[in-house]
């Protein structure tokens, strides 16, 4: 699915917030669980440390402060939100949705609230969906949250996955603005690759050997990621009539530094335009892109007028890109 925003429809991000759990887990800390080294993890992934939730924290506890910051920055309250989407594969529970839980905590009494599942691409899907509902007149102001506590579904004895992921969430408010913000989206899925990154036994299909933990074919996902990050970005740029030289800030999914380096090189993005947080947070799944946006806002790169390219990819296998002309100065707390 690909599309440029319709002329005359100006919708943008007006608030941005993020939150990671306080507990820092270093590469050395993981050596007590699996046979690994700090050197291997840094060389193969670029990750130095990640954040992990404590026992009493669920996704909504991490998403709540991120959402409050986003609302505050947009200058609105929970009651002003009429659409709330939480992109995640680790909701507090299957139901009620974390969207509904969060809407209650925020006082978003009139909001349609639900969860969306598209693996690590969830935030991109949710952004596009919220954009579409606003553009179609179904909603006026949306809160879009991307977040995961992947540590809850990792096998703490599997070194090939344990070292990669971390916990965190980000949130944005999107609404109508005077000048055009979102320029276009591209989303896709290839279900044939689903078994490269999955959690069999987590739903209604009965498996002989159900899994409680993420299973991943790292090499397959690596190949997919390096191809799709480039292809999806090129597709959305072409559809919107911009080139890589027009891009001011590039926000790729934070899966692995080697994957980001590959995409950056192939696309031809200078390194100073690339936002990186995988070194500090690992792969935070649906939280990865909004957390990176918050970093870019904090370090002063997200100025009004800047053209931002975001591309996510993940379980499904799914992918999604968005182009947005940043419209507002903001510094997340």
Using a 10 angstrom Cβ sphere, with 0-12 exposed, 13-18 middle and 19 or more buried, the burial of residue 137 is exposed
Chain positions 222 to 251 lying near ligand UT7, rule: CB under 6 A, are 222, 225
Tell me the closest approach of the beta carbon of residue 256 to ligand UT7, in angstroms.
4
Could you give the CA distance from residue 332 to residue 178 in angstroms, rounded to a whole number? 22
42 or 239: CB nearest ligand UT7: 42
225 or 236: CB nearest ligand UT7: 225
Q: What are the residues facing 11 on neighbouring strands?
A: 176
- SS3 for 35-60, per residue? CCCHHHHHHHHCCCEEECCCCCCCHH
Could you give the CA distance from residue 296 to residue 146 in angstroms, rounded to a whole number? 16
C-beta atoms surrounding 242 within 10 Å: 17
C-beta atoms surrounding 320 within 10 Å: 31
14 or 288: CB nearest ligand UT7: 288
C-beta atoms surrounding 152 within 10 Å: 16
Tell me the closest approach of the beta carbon of residue 283 to ligand UT7, in angstroms.
5
* Residue 317 in contact with ligand UT7, rule: CB under 6 A: no
Q: What is the DSSP string of 258-301?
A: HHHHHHHHHHT--GGGB---HHHH-B-GGGHHHHHHHHHHHTT-
Catalytic residue among 18, 27, 235, 253: 253
27 or 73: CB nearest ligand UT7: 27
Tell me the closest approach of the beta carbon of residue 224 to ligand UT7, in angstroms.
8
Q: Which residue has the tokens 């995961």?
A: 148
Could you give the CA distance from residue 184 to residue 128 in angstroms, rounded to a whole number? 9
Tell me the closest approach of the beta carbon of residue 153 to ligand UT7, in angstroms.
13
Query: Checking DSSP bridges between strand 49-51 and strand 83-87, what pairing results, if any?
Result: unpaired
- Kindly tell me which residue out of 221, 296, 308, 310 binds ligand UT7, with binding defined by CB under 6 A: 221
117 or 298: CB nearest ligand UT7: 117
Active site residue 240: no
Tell me the closest approach of the beta carbon of residue 34 to ligand UT7, in angstroms.
6
44 or 105: CB nearest ligand UT7: 44
Tell me the closest approach of the beta carbon of residue 192 to ligand UT7, in angstroms.
17
Catalytic residue among 120, 240, 262, 277: 120
Active site residue 18: no
Inter-CA distances, 215 with 75, 162, 165, Å: 42, 11, 13
Count Cα neighbours of 214 within 13 Å in the Cβ-side half-sphere. Answer: 28
71 or 310: CB nearest ligand UT7: 310
Q: Lay out the site mask for ligand UT7 across 181-210 (x = CB under 6 A, - = otherwise).
A: ----------------x-------------
Active site residue 262: no
Could you give the CA distance from residue 165 to residue 49 in angstroms, rounded to a whole number? 10
Tell me the closest approach of the beta carbon of residue 311 to ligand UT7, in angstroms.
12
Q: Lay out the site mask for ligand UT7 across 25-64 (x = CB under 6 A, - = otherwise).
A: -----------x---xx--xx-------------------
Which is nearest to 100 in space by CA: 135, 59, 132, 69? 59
- Kindly tell me which residue out of 16, 255, 263, 310 binds ligand UT7, with binding defined by CB under 6 A: 255
Catalytic residue among 27, 235, 277, 283: 283
Question: CB–CB of 296/302 below 8 Å?
Answer: yes
* Residue 159 in contact with ligand UT7, rule: CB under 6 A: yes
Question: CB–CB of 97/114 below 8 Å?
Answer: yes
Q: Which residues are tagged catalytic?
A: 120, 253, 283
> Where does this chain bind ligand UT7 (CB under 6 A)?
36, 40-41, 44-45, 120, 159-160, 163, 197, 216, 218-219, 221-222, 225, 255-256, 283, 314
């Amino acid at each position: 699915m690909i599309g440029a925003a319709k002329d005359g429809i100006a919708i943008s991000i007006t608030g941005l917030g993020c939150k990671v759990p306080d507990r820092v887990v270093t590469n050395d800390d993981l050596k007590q669980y699996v046979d690994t080294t700090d050197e291997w993890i840094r060389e193969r992934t670029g990750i130095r440390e990640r954040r992990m939730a404590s026992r009493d924290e669920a996704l909504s506890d991490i998403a709540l402060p991120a959402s409050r910051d986003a609302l505050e920055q947009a200058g609105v309250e929970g009651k002003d939100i009429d659409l709330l989407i939480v992109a995640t594969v680790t909701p507090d529970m299957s139901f009620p949705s974390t969207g509904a839980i969060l809407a209650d905590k925020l006082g978003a009494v009139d909001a349609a609230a639900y969860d969306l599942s598209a693996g690590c691409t969830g935030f991109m899907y949710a952004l596009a969906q919220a954009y579409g509902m606003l553009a179609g007149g179904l909603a006026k102001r949306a809160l879009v949250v991307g977040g995961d506590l992947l540590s809850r579904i990792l096998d703490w004895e599997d070194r090939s996955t344990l070292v990669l992921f971390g916990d965190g969430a980000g949130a944005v408010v999107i609404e109508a603005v005077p000048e055009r913000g979102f320029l276009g989206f591209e989303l896709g899925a290839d279900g044939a690759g689903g078994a490269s990154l999955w959690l069999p036994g987590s739903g209604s299909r009965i498996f002989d050997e159900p899994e409680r933990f993420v299973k991943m074919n790292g090499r397959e996902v690596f190949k997919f990621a390096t191809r799709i990050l480039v292809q999806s970005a090129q597709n959305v740029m072409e559809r919107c009539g911009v080139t890589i030289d027009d891009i001011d800030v590039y926000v790729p999914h934070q899966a692995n530094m080697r994957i980001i380096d590959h995409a950056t090189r192939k696309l031809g993005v200078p390194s100073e335009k690339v936002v990186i947080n995988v070194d500090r947070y690992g792969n935070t799944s649906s939280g990865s892109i909004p957390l990176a946006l918050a970093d870019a806002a904090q370090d002063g790169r997200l100025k009004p007028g800047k053209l931002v390219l975001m591309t996510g990819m993940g379980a499904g296998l799914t992918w999604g890109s968005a182009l947005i002309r940043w419209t507002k100065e903001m510094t997340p707390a």
